Amino acid sequence: MSVTTRREENVGFVEIDNPPVNAINQAVRQGLLDAVRWAEKEMLDRVIVTGAGRAFAAGADAKEFDKAPVEPHLPDVMNAIDESFVPWVAAINGVALGGGAEIAMACRMRIMAPGAQIGLPEVTLGVIPGAGGTARLPRLVGLEKALDMITGGKPLRAEAALAAGLVHMVDENPVDAAFMVNTEELGCIVPTWEFNPPEADADVLAAARERVAAKMSDQIAPQRAIDVIEHGLSVPFHEALKTERAAFIELKGGEQARALRHIFFAERAAKAPDWLDAAPVPLEQVAVVGGGTMGAGIAYALLNAGLSVTLLETDADGVERAKANVEKIVEASLKRGMIDAARAEDHRARLTVTDDYGQANKATLAIEAAFESMEVKRDVFAKLEAVLPADAILASNTSYLDVNEIASCVADPSRVVGLHFFAPAHIMKLLEIVNADATGDVALATGFALAKKLRKVPVLAGVCDGFIGNRILARYREAADTVLMDGSTPWEIDDAMVDFGYAMGLYETQDLSGLDISHANRRRQDATRDPNRRYIPIADRLVEMGKLGRKTGAGWYRYPGGGGKVADPIVADLALEEAHFAGITRVDYSEGEIRSRLLHAMINEAADLLDEGIAQSARDIDLVTVFGYGFPRWRGGLMHYADTLGAKAIVAQLEEYEKEDPLVWKVSPLLRRCAETDTPLADAKPSA
């Protein structure tokens, strides 16, 4: 039974019971509707509705969104609750999100547990509330707060919900509190649908539209929510519900909602593969080698997850720098209210920063985040091997170096795994778990267990230059540099990708991280680079000129006075000059053409990664591109986006580009197979 009912005296108890989070599917809808009729038949004084387990209800079951709606529909269930002569009280024991919050709002009274949350996060799934949320919330909390909650999608904690007037009471035991409510008092509360709507304040609506345009201009649902809310203020309640429902159904079937649902479920499915049944090592004490930006970020992420950290440096100066780097993150987190003073103290107490490797002798896992040089890694792994327990897992955070070679430095290479974090490591959710040739199952399982502890999104990757993410990035850069050389400017290229939905263009991002980093990487690749592949030297010229990005006040852009970026004509001239040296007749690329080249380059590379078995699935590539590389989430990730174009169209376009440069644009065999067999990339399999 997804909804259970019982009676005590003249009070009905209704429990939503659909583990793990009480998502509202057809059975729950039917169960609730039956409960309304049961309570009426029994002539009960009240009904108390709550959720079994940890949630009140996590909203409509998004797994049903791809199917045709089946009766009873959620708005009808809400109306039945709201209009029933038996008053319902919501005892909000845990999260009440989306449809869950809408059930609560259809009740006469809401009592919330202190740890619970209530909100309408539908826009994060590309839809708007579809069961009365846009009509009921403004009536309960006012227009401004409702606009904020519905367009932002952020839930309220109990105290904030009480302050907003959304709930009547906060109580440790909301069911008992609901039982104690005076029947007369309850009878005096008007059903929500009879509330007068707030005034349609033009300034408040305009401010919400402005906010959404500034922050989420690419996304349809938040703007649509404002339109629907505004409309709902000027028409009778049930008219407002009809408009809301129509918009919800339309958005639910749209591309953005499909993409956001895909990422929502992909994120939740990101866990250790079924075949991996080894137990991870226990995780309590972890050693981190290198206290630079990356190492400090990793150390902070570990501390934040409750682990003890020994941060290892090479000398006393390094120790001081590392301490300061972690402290900077602690202070920033405190300032932003992400942790309180007690938690900060607790973090500090669990951190040891030292140049004595011996102090890490109890660590069951070490994560090396030292300088990207094989010599340095060899030295670090030898030291770790000497002091850590014999079964401790030794991980490298290398971005580009060969994990097989690193593993060969230790006696038992099955202990070695790649754990590729993304900067800032305490914030970015992606963790590539790199499975080297000799990596053992315990090491892999430990990588996945760590990701779970850190609440990161784990993706299994094979060994190649750049693993999944950086290999796609390298091809993205190459395609962008070629467009730059052959006819464009950095700002035109950046604008094309920002218009596509990236928060920042490639060149601006490079300015932020420093051009010297990619320069060092290019020098590392000099020995192995295919001489038949075009090499674009513009970035090298900038480095020679001392233009290393933001830190030097100029890179691809200029940053006068340390402020915002401005286009730099010198850089445009450099591209002209290099093109002239190379005898290239430049072309004038449209924004669409720039975008097409960059996206097709990435898709082709990603298809190769899948074909080679470096990536396990198209879904994993979507996770990598969204959670590590700023690919717009509302497009569902690189491969999900590619499937909206279709393999046939992609191959046709790549074949056009292939005529210009058959080496660089060689069509991936996997894409050809998908095109020939009409298979979406989501279902593509690597070559046998």
Return residues touching ligand 3HC (CB under 6 A): 20-21, 23, 55, 58-63, 74, 95, 97-99, 102, 121-122, 124-125, 129-131, 133, 265, 268
Cβ 360 to ligand 3HC, closest distance in Å? 32
* Token pair 């089946």 in the structure block, residue: 70
* Token pair 């730099």 in the structure block, residue: 568
Q: Which of 37, 29, 24, 28 is nearest to 2 (CA)?
A: 28
Cβ 217 to ligand 3HC, closest distance in Å? 22
**Residue closer to ligand 3HC (CB basis): 98 or 637:** 98
Cβ 132 to ligand 3HC, closest distance in Å? 8
Consecutive H or E run containing 457: strand 457-462
Cβ 148 to ligand 3HC, closest distance in Å? 17
683 contact partners, CB below 8 Å, separation of at least 6: 618
**Residue closer to ligand 3HC (CB basis): 62 or 638:** 62
Marked catalytic residue, from 102, 385, 432, 478: 102
Alpha-carbon distance values, 346 to 112, 350, 372, 397, 578 (Å): 30, 6, 32, 26, 55
Q: Which of 104, 96, 95 is nearest to 136 (CA)?
A: 104
Structure tokens at 537: 């030297």
Cβ 544 to ligand 3HC, closest distance in Å? 49
Question: Which residues are registered as beta bridge partners of 289?
Answer: 312, 368
Pinpoint the alpha helices (H) of 107-142. 133-141
Structure tokens at 121: 């996060």
* Token pair 């097409």 in the structure block, residue: 596
Cβ 31 to ligand 3HC, closest distance in Å? 16
Answer yes or no: 267 catalytic. no
**Residue closer to ligand 3HC (CB basis): 59 or 290:** 59
**Residue closer to ligand 3HC (CB basis): 118 or 181:** 118
- From first CA to last CA, the distance across the chain in angstroms is 45
**Residue closer to ligand 3HC (CB basis): 55 or 367:** 55
Structure tokens at 561: 């006075």
- In eight-state DSSP terms, residue 109 is E
Structure tokens at 446: 């430990």
Pinpoint the alpha helices (H) of 43-132. 74-83, 99-106
Cβ 621 to ligand 3HC, closest distance in Å? 20
Marked catalytic residue, from 15, 122, 385, 432: 122
Structure tokens at 625: 């591109």
**Residue closer to ligand 3HC (CB basis): 351 or 451:** 451
CA gap 132, 74 in Å, rounded = 9
**Residue closer to ligand 3HC (CB basis): 58 or 286:** 58
Answer yes or no: 593 catalytic. no
Alpha-carbon distance values, 586 to 101, 187, 476, 536, 541 (Å): 57, 77, 20, 14, 19
CA gap 555, 280 in Å, rounded = 44
Q: Residue number with the shortest CB distance to ligand 3HC?
A: 98
Pinpoint the alpha helices (H) of 351-408. 374-387, 403-407
Catalytic residue annotation: 102, 122
